[in-house]
A and B are shown apart, each in its own frame.
Chain A
């Protein structure tokens, strides 16, 4: 009887347990099921930083009827082979049907950025769209922008920019009625005050933007009238518009910086301090930056109401999130993932190419050092030994853009005859190495500094094999982080070879090449050659396509003769958009302007 009773109770317990398990399962899944499954319903983000300061009553956007800068819809376009003059003109008329209008307003997007910005003050970012420029452009706009279709610099926030004949004096015209977010006018005084900040950046408080190098070319800024500023340069420079299209061209209201109590506080909350199409809603490092469209933007209606910038660690995860519609824009820089995106038909994209994005930087005798690589024969041997396609196969599974030429085939200025790759020749490389060894002053050993990112480890392994195959005895130093590499190269100048990148943009090849001049402040290799100095000086003066291409060809000719470093790949940056996002404008240094973007219904 007892047994039966227990058995019955056991059955009873069994039922209850079944019910309990079912209940738990049901509740947990129902709770999850109740969540919104509409990823497009972004709603409004939490306002955690500060609410926007009161703005002045919105004036009629002064320039709303003016022709807007051309706004090509994003498409997979490598920079065209038809190239550009570099001086500014009036902006070309907008192409009908691919610009934001009042009727197209609405919607929000999330963009997966490549890396987080160090702050929201242009002086504290590292520069370029890879490290915060895109976010900052929504807040500040830029005076000048690069038209990625034509390669021309065109006025954006500014109305005009003209130079004298020898490119030593540039006159900037500003639009009337443009205001900062707090209602202060963006006039000549504001431009001068903002640019003056760049003359004495303090790296110890995070102001490490390298664009101050361009501003340092300005010897004098003169206010001609309220809407006109004249810049006098220390020497002729046809590429000066680049300065005003980069971070220095993001005009900051210095009054707001003072109100906030300094750079640190402003950098976390620049509300009211910019004249861009968006105002900050929330800035939470490591989480998100949320900006919301202004109602009184000088350029007319801003269609996409809210943009959220997030960083998803790793290119594959970023693209996963894009495919799952959690991101509507993704910044990709990993060749394998870019290839996958193309294979999947995700080709509504902006493409930015960085010539010499991957180089073996060679110590040419920096700071009086005497590494073996001061010998030109060894530098030549390195160039002849490092087959770019082999390195690409190893590091990128053959999906990258291998080349040892100064310019990629997709560059504005590329010409197959002028910028042909140097064919590798292992036998000649081995002969040169043996010749130097035979002199008895060097045993073949050489150090290759790199860092411990997985793709760089693969790359270093391949580079080591190629160099050893021609007689070098390579010591690879890649167990540290990128900071250790920086320490070895920049602080201690204690290296022979280092994996590096020069990122020679088409829009301003002069700036990255400047480090190869004898007296440059950014010369990290000790390379010094009069012919190269002359070629780069010529590049600085180049005012049109033909002159720029000729100057670059001369740089490449001298480069092959003197071999300051050895390039092995072009870095490709691929910003992919959902098909219904139109009107996005790509600009220089992988920057993107969203002022005219809209979501097609």
Chain B
């Protein structure tokens, strides 16, 4: 096991090296000039430069543009922007391996590392929340849909999934804002109506069971109590939500370490996490459903049924595990995507995350130190994540373990 992990970690090095080389090269050929960002649109002419220019060109010369060019050149020299690309890359790499990712060119009061330390936890939290939410919802939905293949729930979940997948995430974010922030009463009423329908259905089922038990002594009547409890729970939750519907913010983020506390953190993280999660829920559900349906055709499932195992045991102990490889792979990829690709969601909800840090502070301002540092950290995170997924296979699939031996 140690050897496996060591090998995996060693393989990270060339990947990260290649990514850093590519990123540095792309930034070099991209339009824009960091020196312009640093000096601004109308830089002051320092008196020393002014004196030099006056001495060289005389009092009567218009030195405005000459001074701008002199300032521009001094900025390029200070940040070695005129050095060959390989030389600048090697300097950056040498510093990076010692943990020094440089200062932010556009706000030199802060280092890139500080920016990452400030923004990465936000992105990580949203990614964890969204993946947790996605798995929490999609696994039962996928199992349920597979188990009831072709029936109402399967068709409903299939249709909903395709609808959600086809909606871009920014639109999902805006729709969530519309319903949760601007029209919460609509959502509140819809939840109440659905909950009441569900409660009525549960009560109807319970009554049928009681009648059935009274008439025929069916054992199904034993589940009537469960139905009543479930109906009461749903009714209470629905009424609670109706009267105390949470007030979600349009934008902003409260850190869990802030004085506002963890609940405020959940409140501000919920809509962004749900925006990311919805698409993943749809994808995960469809994927898991398909895999489980395929697994349920296997001989060992038939064998398990023949041996009289319960459906729950068959589904969760025999079918789910071998059906989860694709899900784990995809969840790993999705988690990596959530870490690096949530800039739209971060922008919509004004989250101080890594996506906005790299795009707003790095790409838009031509601050290559920010882009390089941010990409390096995200690459490391994603590659480590994929390594974790590989190691998870090792545990989940005995064939891989045996293969390694």
Residues on A facing B (Cβ under 8 Å): 2, 5-6, 8-13, 15-22, 24-26, 28-37, 39, 43-46, 118-120, 124, 126, 199-210, 212-213, 216, 264-265, 267-268, 284-287, 310-313, 317, 320-321, 324, 326, 366-367, 480-484, 486-487, 490-491, 493, 518-524
The answer to whether B237 touches A31, judged by C-beta atoms less than 8 angstroms apart, is no
A187 to B272, CA, bound (A): 50
The answer to whether B226 touches A17, judged by C-beta atoms less than 8 angstroms apart, is no
Q: Mark B171-206, 1 if CB is under 8 A from A, else 0.
A: 000000100011000000001000000100010000
Q: Mark B309-340, 1 if CB is under 8 A from A, else 0.
A: 01110010000000000000000000000000
Whether B150 is near chain A, meaning CB under 8 Å from some CB there, is no
The one of A5, A25, A326, A486 that contacts B252, using a Cβ cutoff of 8 Å:
A326
The answer to whether B31 touches A13, judged by C-beta atoms less than 8 angstroms apart, is no
Known contacts A204-B74, A321-B250; A35/B263 CB under 8 A: yes
Chain B at the A interface: SS class: helix
Listed A/B pairs (25) with beta-carbon separation below 8 Å = A6-B311, A9-B312, A10-B311, A17-B144, A18-B202, A18-B230, A24-B136, A35-B247, A35-B268, A37-B267, A203-B46, A204-B74, A212-B44, A285-B110, A286-B352, A286-B361, A287-B253, A317-B350, A320-B177, A324-B182, A483-B36, A520-B62, A521-B50, A521-B64, A522-B64
Besides A265-B109, A312-B251, A486-B36, 5 more A-B contacts (Cβ < 8 Å) are A29-B241, A45-B259, A264-B109, A284-B118, A310-B350
Known contacts A36-B263, A205-B108; A24/B38 CB under 8 A: no
Smallest CB–CB gap between B187 and chain A, Å? 10
Smallest CB–CB gap between B141 and chain A, Å? 8
Smallest CB–CB gap between B174 and chain A, Å? 10
A446 to B353, CA, bound (A): 43
Closest to A519 in B: B62
Known contacts A16-B312, A118-B106, A284-B118; A21/B36 CB under 8 A: no
Which of B65-73, B89-97, B286-294, B391-399 makes up part of the contact surface? B65-73
The answer to whether A46 touches B257, judged by C-beta atoms less than 8 angstroms apart, is yes
Closest to B74 in A: A204
Whether B308 is near chain A, meaning CB under 8 Å from some CB there, is yes
A523 to B45, CA, bound (A): 13
Smallest CB–CB gap between A16 and chain B, Å? 7
The one of B31, B140, B310, B348 that contacts A24, using a Cβ cutoff of 8 Å:
B140
Smallest CB–CB gap between B229 and chain A, Å? 8
A9 to B308, CA, bound (A): 10
Known contacts A11-B223, A24-B137, A481-B32; A324/B249 CB under 8 A: yes
The one of A33, A44, A310 that contacts B240, using a Cβ cutoff of 8 Å:
A33
Whether B160 is near chain A, meaning CB under 8 Å from some CB there, is no
- With a CB–CB cut-off of 8 A, which chain A residues contact B72? 491
The one of B44, B237, B241, B308 that contacts A210, using a Cβ cutoff of 8 Å:
B44
The answer to whether B250 touches A324, judged by C-beta atoms less than 8 angstroms apart, is yes
Smallest CB–CB gap between B289 and chain A, Å? 14
Which of B202, B233, B247: most chain A CB closer than 10 A?
A: B247
A354 to B345, CA, bound (A): 34
Smallest CB–CB gap between A120 and chain B, Å? 8
A10 to B149, CA, bound (A): 13
Known contacts A24-B136, A46-B258, A204-B75; A483/B108 CB under 8 A: no
- With a CB–CB cut-off of 8 A, which chain B residues contact A43? 259-260
A555 to B103, CA, bound (A): 45
Which of B37, B44, B147: most chain A CB closer than 10 A?
A: B44
The answer to whether A126 touches B245, judged by C-beta atoms less than 8 angstroms apart, is no
Question: Considering only CB atoms and an 8 Å cut-off, how many residues of chain B contact the other chain?
Answer: 101
Known contacts A26-B237, A313-B350; A203/B107 CB under 8 A: no
A45 to B264, CA, bound (A): 13
- Total A-B pairs, Cβ < 8 A: 248
Whether B33 is near chain A, meaning CB under 8 Å from some CB there, is yes
The answer to whether B64 touches A46, judged by C-beta atoms less than 8 angstroms apart, is no
Smallest CB–CB gap between A584 and chain B, Å? 22
A548 to B375, CA, bound (A): 55
Smallest CB–CB gap between B25 and chain A, Å? 20
Known contacts A286-B360, A326-B250; A523/B237 CB under 8 A: no
Smallest CB–CB gap between B234 and chain A, Å? 5
Closest to A6 in B: B311
Smallest CB–CB gap between B171 and chain A, Å? 15
Q: Mark B32-60, 1 if CB is under 8 A from A, else 0.
A: 11001111111111111010000000001
Whether B170 is near chain A, meaning CB under 8 Å from some CB there, is no
A367 to B67, CA, bound (A): 12
A520 to B72, CA, bound (A): 19
Instruction: State which residues 247-291 of B face A: CB under 8 Å.
Output: 247-253, 255, 257-260, 263-264, 266-268, 270
A347 to B264, CA, bound (A): 31
The answer to whether B308 touches A5, judged by C-beta atoms less than 8 angstroms apart, is yes
Known contacts A13-B311, A321-B250; A203/B74 CB under 8 A: yes
Whether B87 is near chain A, meaning CB under 8 Å from some CB there, is no
The answer to whether A208 touches B43, judged by C-beta atoms less than 8 angstroms apart, is yes
- With a CB–CB cut-off of 8 A, which chain B residues contact A209? 44
Whether B120 is near chain A, meaning CB under 8 Å from some CB there, is no
Whether B220 is near chain A, meaning CB under 8 Å from some CB there, is yes
The answer to whether B62 touches A8, judged by C-beta atoms less than 8 angstroms apart, is no
The one of B47, B63, B108, B245 that contacts A264, using a Cβ cutoff of 8 Å:
B108
The answer to whether A521 touches B67, judged by C-beta atoms less than 8 angstroms apart, is yes
Smallest CB–CB gap between B292 and chain A, Å? 13
Closest to A125 in B: B40
The one of A287, A320, A519, A520 that contacts B250, using a Cβ cutoff of 8 Å:
A320
The answer to whether B308 touches A490, judged by C-beta atoms less than 8 angstroms apart, is no
The answer to whether A207 touches B44, judged by C-beta atoms less than 8 angstroms apart, is yes
A206 to B103, CA, bound (A): 12
Instruction: State which residues 204-252 of B face A: CB under 8 Å.
Output: 219-220, 223, 226-227, 230, 233-234, 237, 240-241, 244-252
